[in-house]
Structure 1
Amino acid sequence: MRVLFASTRGSGHFNPLVPLIDACTARGDDVLVVAPPALEGLLASRKQPYRIGREPDPEELAGIMKRVLTLAPDDGVSLMVAEVFGRLCTAAMLPALEEACRDWRPDLVLHETFEFASVVAAERHGIPHARVAVSAAGFTASTDRLLAPVLDPYGPGIARRLLDSPYLTRLPASLDPSPYPTTRRYHEELRPQALADRWGGATEPLVHVTLGTEAGALPTATGLYRAVLDAVSALPVRVLLTTGHHIDPAALGPLPPHVHAEQWVPQADVLRSASLVVCHGGSGTVYGALAAGVPVVCVPLFADQPDNARLVTGAGVGESVTPTGGPEDEAPVLGPDDVRNIREAAERILEQPSYRARARSLADEMRNTATAADLLATLEP
């Protein structure tokens, strides 16, 4: 089978495709990945063939992104989905995806939730398609009303057929009930390695602090990391902070011996040893933590993060601290009250076994879903 995978920019959008890409490769399928230039470095490090499309006009994109940061979260999400993913990215990526569907002739197109150009191309060439969840189903459904105005001009009914296509998600049904008629759940089979000792043999609980891969680009990012470190470093724990490629850990200044900072460590390796994750509520981090049975403190900043935080707290697998510091028309910051609230939330979770027990129960439910390979077998034309 020939399978075309399509993603927008950002590893958080691409990573949910990875277990399916790897499963296709392992069973001998022909794979082609089509993505924007921002992902070329990542794709070049992998073994699958890929093609690079175009980016939207940088000035127009920057103007919209600046507006997103000034809006209330729901309004910012609507603007991102309609204008960035829907209008700009679809127009930029459509030529490359049209060419791939026309010349390479895939049997199936798999795209992450907010990549739409591949759906337009697949519909035009009569190719089955399915979408791979990046966020919770409830969050995704909240943006469905935005799709018809941006997709149907490319062909009547495309938005409806997108919503009716198979919806593939890693989240368990008890945490994330889905409104989509053909919802199929799967899990990633990971083989984490033992985490190297960075703390001189200390054995206190390990707290993993991360704001994901994109928050580091915020103008307030260094202050956000420093504030979260101030919150957790006062606890009797070991801390491993990963900053992502936007920030040099040295920019955080001197750190105490029980706090170690690096740009990147394999998430699965850290989660194998972690007792708690403190994060911004990004989908990749939250889903990874829950799959490993690790409770979470969410500090949501933007996009789907508030929704993920509500899922975490509603399921009893963690707590949420919404930033309150800073003017509303600027990038988020954490004030003294936020630092105190993060510290107290972390203390409660570390002291009360119920959080860990519920997280492990969700992890068991996730492991009982289909493997990526089994899921692919249900999608064969």
Structure 2
Amino acid sequence: MRILFTSTKGEGHIRPLLPYARAAAGLGHDVQIAAPEPCAPIIAKAGFRHHVFECLSGPELEAIWGPHRGVRDDDMVKIAIPQMFAGATAERSMPGLRQAVETWRPDVIVRESVEYAGLVVAEAYGIPHARVNVHNCGFEELVNSYAVEPVATLLEGVGAAGDSKAMIWEEPVFTAFPETFDGDAQAGENNPPMRVSTASSGPVPETDWTPKGERPLVYMTFGTVAAGFGQKGHLYQLVLDALAQTDTEILLTVGPNFDISSLENVPGNVDVRSFVPQAAVFPHAAAILCHGGSGTLLGGFGAGLPQVVTPLFADQFDNARRAERAGLGLMVSDPIEEGVADAVTEIMKNQDIAERCALVAAEMASLVPSDVAAERMVGLARGG
């Protein structure tokens, strides 16, 4: 069977697809990925054929976001979904994605959950489709509610008849989020998601990083996006200054978009790197301090680590609230630098949180294996 995975740009969008793609390829199926050019290095490293489709330019993105300067960070979804992901981004993606489908003729299309052109093209060509959630199920409910109308417009544009709401809500869904975190949120009415263990079982990636000292290690990251936002990059220094006096060792990873030399003061208990594989860090860590991005949260939960979450934008606010409500961590709101040191100290001695984290790690380890999920995806082409 031929499976075409589709993604918008950004590591938080393309990476959740890779465990399923690898599993499907390992089962002998033909796998290719359609995504914008910025995803090329990740796709090439994963070893898959890449169908490139266009994405919005910097000026085009600015035209969308410019009028909304000052919008509350957790309200960004109200703009991002209808105007960008299910709007201009999907429309720009359509020609290249249609060409990929006409050239390769996939049996199934599997999209990451805010890549809407994949759904529309699948409907236009009569191809079964599914989605992999890049957010928790509760936030996906919100996202989907904003996508219904723009997706209907896209469907009309390609001559595909049908109810866009039903197409989204009844689509088979796969997620790596455990039920403990999602609560009673579903992928749609009578449409429970398949919850999948996507953790790698391979060897720990090689790295030249080692822990600096004997004190408890806190792994700190704000993901790969924050450093590219000028108004967010300054938080690194503020938070490091706040953590300087804690009885911890800190590993801060900043990603490729941040100039480490711009930090004026790096405390003695801090090691700053552009990148260290999380799988190499987690066995040494006592806690995580992060922005609440899905990838970091899930990796940390899978390792049984408590987390201090300092949300910056998008779904991170919802993730932070859910983590605290589930007893898996603590949320620190603005001004972050005023509460983060106390939260880090508290979370490493809170036995209730430690026990909850151990339970959710066991829950995640017991989820459906990725190869079973891949066969379910393939089964869609067989009418299953």
Q: Give the alignment's TM-score, normalised by structure 1.
A: 0.92
In structure 2, relative to structure 1, the CA distance for the partners of 1:254 and 1:57 (3 Å cut) is closer
The alignment partner of 1:174 has SS state of helix
Shift of 1:139: 0.6
- Mapped to 1, the partners of 2:269 and 2:370 lie a distance apart of 38
Deviation, structure 1 residue 93: 0.7
Give the aligned partner of residue 118 of structure 1. Answer: 118
Q: Provide the residue aligned with 1:228 in structure 2.
A: 239
Following superposition, the deviation at residue 183 of structure 1 comes to: 1.1
Partner AA of 2:268 in structure 1: P
Residues 1:256 and 1:148: Cα distance change in structure 2 (over 3 Å): closer
Cα distance between partner residues in 2 of 1:356 and 1:8: 35
* Aligned CA distance change for structure 1 residues 210 and 12 (closer, same or farther; 3 Å): same
1:366 aligns with 2:332: no
Alpha-carbon distance in structure 2 between the residues aligned to 1:261 and 1:67? 35
Q: For residues 37 and 224 of structure 2, what CA distance do their matches in structure 1 show?
A: 17
Q: Is 1:34 paired with 2:45?
A: no
* Match status 1:171 vs 2:177: yes
3-state secondary structure, aligned to 1:120: helix
In the alignment, structure 2 segments of 5+ residues that lack a partner are none
Of residues 13-22 and 95-104 in structure 1, the stretch that sits farther from structure 2 once superposed is: 95-104
Q: 2:199 aligns with which of 175, 181, 189?
A: 189
1:218-297 matched pairs, under 5 angstroms: 218-297=229-308
Q: 3-state DSSP class of the match of 1:168?
A: strand
- Paired residue type of 1:342: V
Query: What is the 5 A alignment of 1:56-135?
Result: 56-135=56-135
Contact 1:194 1:272 in 2 (8 A): no
CA distance in 2, matches of 1:187, 1:142: 24
Residues 178 and 254 of structure 1, relative CA distance in 2, 3 Å threshold: same
Aligned partners of 1:280 and 1:298 also within 8 Å: yes
Alignment check: 8 A CA contact 2:211 2:284 kept? no
Provide the secondary structure at the position in 1 that maps to 2:22: helix
2:168 to 162, 170, 185: 162
The answer for unaligned runs of 5 or more in structure 1 is: 325-337
- Confirm or deny: 8 A CA contact 1:34 1:97 kept in the other structure: yes
Q: Contact (CA 8 Å) 1:295, 1:355: kept in 2 or not?
A: yes
1:142-196 superposed Cα distances (whole Å, 9 cap, x missing partner): 1222222211122332342122011111011122133221410101232435875
Q: Give distance in 2, aligned partners of 1:152 and 1:111.
A: 17
Q: Report the Cα distance in structure 1 between the residues aligned to 2:199 and 2:311, rounded to whole angstroms.
A: 27
Structure 2 counterpart of 1:207, one-letter code: V
The equivalent residue for 1:354 is 352
Aligned mates of 2:328, 2:302 — CA distance in 1: 12
* Bigger shift: residues 191-200 or 159-168: 191-200
Matched residues in 2 for 1:88 and 1:237: separation?
Answer: 45
Cα shift at 1:315: 0.9
2:177 partner letter? L
Check conservation: 2:244, 2:268, Cα contact below 8 A: no
Identity %: 31
The 8 Å contact of residues 56 and 89 in structure 2, kept in 1 or not, is answered as: yes
**Separation in 1 of the partners of 2:177 and 2:224?**
21
Q: 1:334 corresponds to which residue?
A: none
Moved over 6 A (4+): none
CA distance in 1, matches of 2:67, 2:229: 14
Q: SS at the partner of 2:348?
A: helix
Paired with 1:373 and 1:73, the residues of 2 have a C-alpha distance of: 37
How far 1:137 moved relative to its partner? 0.7
- What residue identity is the alignment partner of 2:36? P
Secondary structure of 1:50's counterpart equals strand
2:226 equivalent in structure 1: 215
Matched, 1:2 2:9: no
Cα shift at 1:68 = 4.7
Cα–Cα, structure 1 residues 237 and 184, in superposed 2: closer, same or farther, change >3 Å? same
Partner of 1:330: none
Q: Is the 8 A contact 1:222 1:252 kept in 2?
A: no
SS at match of 2:361: helix
Matched with 1:144 is 144
Segment drifting more, 347-356 vs 125-134: 347-356
Question: C-alpha distance in 1, partners of 2:207/2:102?
Answer: 46
Distance 2:358 2:73 in 1: 30
Asked if the contact 2:240–2:267 (Cα under 8 Å) also holds between the matched residues in 1, the reply is no
For 1:299, the aligned partner's letter is T
SS at match of 1:208: strand
TM-fit CA distance, 1:355: 1.5
Matched with 1:47 is 47
Q: Please identify, of 347-356 and 301-310, the stretch whose mean Cα deviation from structure 2 is larger.
A: 347-356
- 1:226 and 1:282 mapped to 2: Cα distance? 20
CA contact (8 A) 2:224 2:255 kept: yes
3-state DSSP class of the match of 2:185? Answer: coil
